[in-house]
Amino acid sequence: MRVEFKTEGGFAYFPGLNQPVTMDTGELSTQEADELERLIEVARFFDLPETPASRRGTADGRRYIISISSPERSHAVHLEEPIEDANVQALVDFLRAKTRMLRSVGD
């Protein structure tokens, strides 16, 4: 499964430092891959609308674009803070943490 994660906006946003990060479950540890797949399932990611109903976010709120592809299906979702669904927030938290880790390794 291939996951692309991109963050936009937020306080002190620098586009050059927020390039999309792509991760493949085949390249993650077994534990990380299992956790990511579990979070995707629990968040019902493939059932989420591409763009949630428009609502008023915060001025410095972040936006996230998550694209997930597997041999069986592909889907992309655009999210804005605050994210009300705790399961979707858990998926975003995992992806943010993994993105920070991957970027720190590249430094």
The whole-angstrom separation of Cα 50 and Cα 75 is 8
Q: Which of 83, 75, 90, 6 is nearest to 42 (CA)?
A: 90
List the 2-9 sheet strands across, edge first. 21-24, 2-9, 62-69, 74-80
Domain borders along the chain are: 2-106
Name the DSSP class of 63.
E
The whole-number mean pLDDT for each consecutive block of 10 residues of the chain, a chain of 107 residues, reads: 90 62 96 98 97 62 93 96 95 95 74
User: What is the pTM (predicted TM-score) of this model?
Assistant: 0.86
- DSSP annotation of 40 reads H
Classify residue 45 by its DSSP letter. G
